[in-house]
A and B are shown apart, each in its own frame.
Chain A
Amino acid sequence: MFEAWVTVLISGLAMGAIYALVAGGLNLTWGVMNVVNMAHGVFLMLGAYITFMAWSYWGINPLFTIFLSFPILFALGALINRFLVRRTVGLASMLLTFGIFMVIENLAVVGFGGMYRSVRFFTGSYDIMGVFVSKPRIIAAGIAVAMSLLTYWFLKKTKIGVAIRAISLDRMMAEQCGVNTNQICTITFGIGAAQPAVAGSLMSLIFAFNPMLGRVFLVKAFAIVVLGGMGNFLGALIGGLTIGLVEAVIAFSGNLHLSEAAGFIIIILILLLRPSGIMGRRQ
């Protein structure tokens, strides 16, 4: 029973780490730029297809494909911001990104077809004294955590990172300090698209996916950003791990329906008790 519990909890944490990476990107576009980015899920889906194609056509090791999905989606995200999102605010930007989501998803259906794909590279598990640790999930989770921490370091320690955080707090003041906020927001949007793309690359190792892949994760990512506190970059990681863990505990002691509701119940509670998120500071 003990081994079973540990197996379930590790699996939950691994899933949480991947949620966190998806949420991290959203935290940038939502928390910094205040754009409710409905297109977030398609960046993830495109990342998964980049990995799938690089692996199936050119036999590239899927772990190396994150060096493709990151820059490609960074560029796409930056272009989308530069030529579309930047021109809108509020509800208009939400509708616009919803439109982008529809267009890209439908193009993907036409281009890739609706059938399921998967990268069969790591399967099976490590059996550590009766605890089963899924190979694809733990490898994906490790990379996801590394990626989240790298982004955190970038935001904390680099000049552009500090500028991004400044913009998230007071865009007008950042501009008056000499920050070209339009340009930095374009970079931010690029990273905000590249992060879920890496998550998507990792998911292609775990799931059978089709162009609808991103949909499931969008709602969870929004929930995690709320949980971790908007604009709080470590909060997204901790929020993601928390959701993954709580889902696993409830799935094992209760059932999956409860477990999926649980994430949202926590979020409602947090919003009532600590509106700024678990990591956020009280206003």
Chain B
Amino acid sequence: MRSRIIPIILLTLFVLGTIVFGASCETKEPIVFGGALPLTGWGADGGEYNRRGYMVWEDMVNAAGGILGRPVKVIIYDDKSDPTVTTRLYEKLVTQDKVDFLLSPWTDDMVMAATTVGEKYGKTIVAGGATYPAIWERGYKYVTGLLPNSKDYLGVGIRFFSGLKTVALLNLDLTFTTGFADAAEWNFPREGMTLVLPRQTYTGDTTDLTAPLMKIKAKNPDFIVACTGGAEDATMILRQAKEIGLNPKAWWFTIAPVIPEYIEVLGEDAEYTLGCSEWEPELPDTIEDFSIRAAFNQRHREMFGGEDPVEDAATTFGVGQIMQLAIEKVGELDDEKINEALHELDTSTVFGYYRVDEAGKQKGKVMYVIQVQNGVRETLWPFKAATSVLRFPTPPWDKRD
């Protein structure tokens, strides 16, 4: 019997407490924002950083008096890294929780699923961590995005080396990295580059890249674009390239070079490699307007054990900021008008510029070309933000000291 009474007492206390406490504290109904993130499963790391961004945003908005004088409440569910769960959760957020606004999930697959629900109910989603072009190429009315799509993301690097003639492409077989590789192939002919052999695809289970790297070596390309997913596969590529003496004039990696442990794991073998960063915690304000970033960094450190925010936290904070700006511009919670505002805004967040085309595709965000030099990521472009100049060509492995 005891075992049943205690929970009942606790529940009663809790309910009473909520009523009394709630009534005294919250005089105004909060504006509710809801979303789902991969808090467990393969996406759990990114999901957690995303969640932190939303949490810091909720905290800072409320501390500053809320939106339109009302407090903000953020609900985040766990989609378990499964897009079918995403669909179910976004249906629930709209129909049962009756949230006022939807927040972005992470990443491409989940955004594809969530935006389908958003489109159905006319609730706009500002995609936070997605680059897959199809997200904005389905004719949807209620989607915009914070990140440049993958064609633009790859385009930066390929344009940067547009003098080079021959190129080889490596591709990790995941949805988003394959999206990058597709985008790379779309960009190559536009910059006068020829792919010297079909793209070399490998999987997350690949333990030995000798074979594809030897094939590439036989074609001796000027440039190698590797659509990697992170430090793990980039490490295997560079170490094995060193082992077999594969020496292009330049190496370009997606994702990996901006991951903190990339340089730590590879050490000197990371030198000369290039990539594209969308966000660095300490970028100067000369290009984009990062005015409130110091406050964001500070609050993030306070809330999360002194840790600096990473890009994935800045994006979701940026999503919150954009939603807020749109709501404040409209002055009321009208989904249609807010959707219009989201398409018209030309502004900047902690993440950088926000300006989208009619389809909702991000066009304003500046991307930063970075190169590993002496164990540090240096910004090469845009020139106004540059901290160093390009080191080119990459010396052969056996000529490095």
Contacts and interface: CB of A to CB of B under 8 A. Distances in A.
B201 A123 contact: no
Contact of A124 (B207, B217, B242): B242
A148 interface: no
B231 A132 contact: no
Contacts of B239: 123, 136, 206
Contact of A257 (B203, B215, B260): B203
Contact of B206 (A8, A117, A260): A260
A120 interface: yes
Interface stretch (B89-97, B261-269, B378-386): B261-269
B203 A132 contact: no
Given A8-B214, A117-B265, A256 B206 contact: yes
B242 A256 contact: no
A15 B207 contact: yes
Contact of B208 (A15, A116, A210, A219): A15
Contact of A7 (B202, B231, B244, B261): B244
A117 B211 CA distance: 24
B203 A260 contact: yes
Contact of A132 (B201, B234, B236, B243): B243
A182 interface: no
Interface string A194-218: 0000000000001111100000100
B305 interface: no
A180 interface: no
A41 to B, nearest CB: 12
Nearest to B48: A114
Contacts of A118: 235, 265-266
B201 A256 contact: yes
B170 to A, nearest CB: 10
A256 B200 contact: yes
Contacts of A12: 208, 210
A4 B210 CA distance: 9
Interface in B38-74: 44-45
B39 to A, nearest CB: 13
A116 B264 CA distance: 9
Contact of A248 (B208, B217, B265): B208
Given A120-B265, A207-B232, A256-B200, A216 B207 contact: yes
B214 A256 contact: no
Interface string A122-145: 011101000010111100000000
B364 interface: no
Contacts of B30: none
Interface residues of A, number: 38
B212 interface: yes
B204 interface: yes
A1 B218 CA distance: 9
Given A251-B212, A256-B212, A207 B261 contact: no
Nearest to A115: B261
B230 interface: yes
Contacts of B205: 216, 219, 260
A256 B204 CA distance: 11
Interface residues of B, number: 39
* Main SS class of interface, A: helix
Interface in B245-304: 245, 259-261, 265-267, 269
A88 interface: no
Nearest to A249: B211
A210 B204 contact: no
A61 interface: no
B235 A207 contact: yes
B324 interface: no
A127 B244 CA distance: 8
A255 B203 CA distance: 11
A132 B245 contact: yes
Contacts of A210: 232
Nearest to B269: A123
B201 A208 contact: no
Interface string A87-127: 00000000000000000000000000011111010011101
B243 A125 contact: yes
A11 B208 CA distance: 7
Nearest to B209: A256
Q: B173, B211, B215, B240: which has the most chain A beta carbons within 10 Å?
A: B211
Nearest to B260: A115
A207 B236 contact: yes
A181 interface: no
Contacts of B14: none
A252 to B, nearest CB: 4
A116 B231 contact: yes
Nearest to B204: A216
Contacts of A135: 243
B242 A116 contact: no
A58 B240 CA distance: 27
Q: A4, A12, A244, A251: which has the most chain B beta carbons within 10 Å?
A: A251
Interface string A212-233: 0000100100000000000000
Given A115-B260, A117-B261, A257-B201, A252 B243 contact: no
Interface string B360-401: 000000000000000000000000000000000000010000
B232 A208 contact: yes
Contacts of A124: 242-243, 397
A252 B215 contact: yes
A256 B202 contact: yes
A256 B231 CA distance: 20
A120 B240 CA distance: 13
Given A11-B208, A15-B208, A257 B244 contact: no
12 contacts: A8-B210, A11-B211, A115-B231, A116-B231, A116-B259, A118-B265, A206-B239, A251-B210, A256-B201, A256-B206, A259-B211, A260-B205
Q: Which 6 residue pairs spanning A and B have beta carbons closest together?
A: A251-B211, A208-B235, A125-B243, A11-B210, A252-B211, A116-B231
Given A116-B231, A208-B266, 20 more contacts: A4-B214, A7-B210, A15-B207, A115-B261, A116-B230, A125-B242, A125-B243, A127-B245, A132-B243, A132-B245, A135-B243, A137-B243, A207-B235, A216-B205, A244-B208, A248-B211, A251-B211, A252-B210, A255-B200, A257-B203
